[in-house]
Chains A and B, each alone.
Chain A
Amino acid sequence: MIGALATLLSLQLAGEILVRLLALPLPGPVLGMILLFAVLALRGTAPRTLEDAANGLLRHLSLLFVPAGVGIVVHLDRVAQAWLPLLVTVIASTALTILVTAFTLLGMQRLTGRRESP
């Protein structure tokens, strides 16, 4: 468990350092995710303890977004001024993006003959 936590934190730290050194347009943790994926691919297997730690963190990933979400309180006034057009734009654009992405993926799978069972 501690080993898994040390692994996750070290790769996050490595990601943060590399992003700054190379001025990459990515957040450190996202590069850390890519690094961990590379490590796992090279090892050929994920250790049991790392699987458990990852599952534990990801099962309630939603909780981790709550503090940032409450940050809306700081901009309540500005958002309230134009809440209807903002809300309509966000909802319409998000819905369209989800549909376009999902159906392009399925369409391309069909085109390339790599359709998977649902």
Chain B
Amino acid sequence: MTDLFQLWVYLAERPLLWLTVTVIAYWLAHRLFTLSGEFPLLNPVLVAVTALVGLLLGTGTRYETYFDGAQFVHFLLGPATVALAVPLYRQAHRLRRLWFPLTVALVAGSVTAVTSALAFGWLLGLSPEMLLSLLPKSVTTPIAMGISREIGGLPSLTAVLVILTGITGAVLGVPLLRAFGQRNAAAKGFAIGVAAHGIGTARAFQHSDEAGAFAGLGMGLNGALTALLVPLVVWLLAL
């Protein structure tokens, strides 16, 4: 028994353990998602994150210890974001044709994301600190945290709300648009990318390459627009 405990103590401090557990948790979650016929609530990110949070709490492991191992997976987000240019390039002929509708949809979506978060949050009585941290929720984490700092929110709380929004968009996006009779892959992808950044984009890639390409575009464009829009809204409302 003590030997086993010693082994646990040894492994728990090595990057290999939590790296392996992360990959296995995701792999199992992905199997489950596929086997269930892509049931939305069994979204692989949602299931893997929930399982890992339970595991960390259950074993009393600190997030820093976990991240020492998981950072090797996390690091790949950078090159993967750059790689989004490849499927987007495959859609280049359509971007030329659709630039105007895409621009209008981007502005409409970006304004909706910020103002609806403000309106719903205010109606439901969220504290001003929560509200400010919530405003940039639809954009990718590094941009959102920068905006949050600028307007007086809590950047680390914003990071959590960004993830929550991403998972929500990944779970809701496809069934919601299907319920409204929306079958155009470009429109689906773009909308999910604008509303739910990278996690939504990842979901769109599971749907189709085309949806993924437009989601990546929506994510990148909305990141830039929201960085301009949120400080403006805060200034206008004198929050």
Residues of A within 8 A of B (CB): 5, 8-9, 11-12, 15, 25-30, 32-37, 40-41, 46, 50-51, 53-55, 57-76, 78-79, 82, 85-106, 108-109, 111-112, 114, 116, 118
> How distant is A95 from chain B, measured CB to nearest CB, in Å?
6
Please name all residues of chain A whose beta carbon is closer than 8 Å to the beta carbon of B180 when the two chains form the complex: 99, 102-103
Inter-subunit contact A104/B104 (CB<8 Å): yes
- Indicate whether B6 reaches chain A with its CB closer than 8 angstroms: no
Please name all residues of chain A whose beta carbon is closer than 8 Å to the beta carbon of B109 when the two chains form the complex: 97-98, 100-101, 104
B86 is contacted by which of A30, A40, A85, A102 (Cβ under 8 Å)?
A40
**What total of chain B residues lie within 8 Å of the partner, measured CB to CB?**
112
Inter-subunit contact A98/B120 (CB<8 Å): no
B124 is contacted by which of A85, A109, A112 (Cβ under 8 Å)?
A85
Give B122's nearest chain A residue, CB to CB. Answer: A89
Inter-subunit contact B66/A70 (CB<8 Å): yes
CA distance A102 to B200 in the complex (A): 14
Inter-subunit contact A93/B116 (CB<8 Å): yes
Please name all residues of chain B whose beta carbon is closer than 8 Å to the beta carbon of A12 when the two chains form the complex: 78-79, 81-82
Mostly helix, strand, loop or mixed at chain A's interface?
Answer: helix
Please name all residues of chain A whose beta carbon is closer than 8 Å to the beta carbon of B227 when the two chains form the complex: 25-26
> How distant is A41 from chain B, measured CB to nearest CB, in Å?
7
A54-B86, A97-B116, A97-B138 in contact; A105/B190 too (CB < 8 A)? yes
CA distance A87 to B172 in the complex (A): 13
> How distant is B111 from chain A, measured CB to nearest CB, in Å?
9
Please name all residues of chain A whose beta carbon is closer than 8 Å to the beta carbon of B161 when the two chains form the complex: 86, 90
Please name all residues of chain B whose beta carbon is closer than 8 Å to the beta carbon of A99 when the two chains form the complex: 176-177, 180, 191
Inter-subunit contact A29/B78 (CB<8 Å): yes
Please name all residues of chain B whose beta carbon is closer than 8 Å to the beta carbon of A86 when the two chains form the complex: 121, 126, 130, 134, 161, 164
A68-B141, A94-B168 in contact; A53/B100 too (CB < 8 A)? no
CA distance A93 to B220 in the complex (A): 19
* Most chain B CB neighbours (cut-off 10 Å) among A15, A89, A98: A98
CA distance A68 to B144 in the complex (A): 14
CA distance A92 to B134 in the complex (A): 13
Inter-subunit contact A30/B187 (CB<8 Å): no
* Most chain A CB neighbours (cut-off 10 Å) among B23, B88, B191, B199: B191
Q: List 10 A-B contacts (CB under 8 A).
A: A33-B81, A33-B220, A46-B89, A57-B80, A65-B202, A66-B45, A82-B127, A88-B120, A99-B176, A118-B185
Inter-subunit contact B86/A63 (CB<8 Å): no
CA distance A46 to B82 in the complex (A): 14
CA distance A71 to B141 in the complex (A): 12
A69-B163, A89-B124, A90-B164 in contact; A96/B83 too (CB < 8 A)? no
- Indicate whether B198 reaches chain A with its CB closer than 8 angstroms: yes
Please name all residues of chain B whose beta carbon is closer than 8 Å to the beta carbon of A76 when the two chains form the complex: 53
B26 is contacted by which of A32, A35, A62 (Cβ under 8 Å)?
A62
With A25-B224, A66-B49 already in contact, 8 other A-B pairs whose C-beta atoms are closer than 8 Å: A34-B220, A37-B85, A46-B90, A67-B73, A75-B156, A82-B126, A98-B173, A105-B101
Q: What are the nearest 7 A-B pairs in CB distance?
A: A101-B109, A108-B101, A67-B70, A29-B81, A36-B85, A85-B124, A105-B105
Contact with A along B40-80 (1 / 0, CB 8 A): 00001100110011001100000100110011011011111
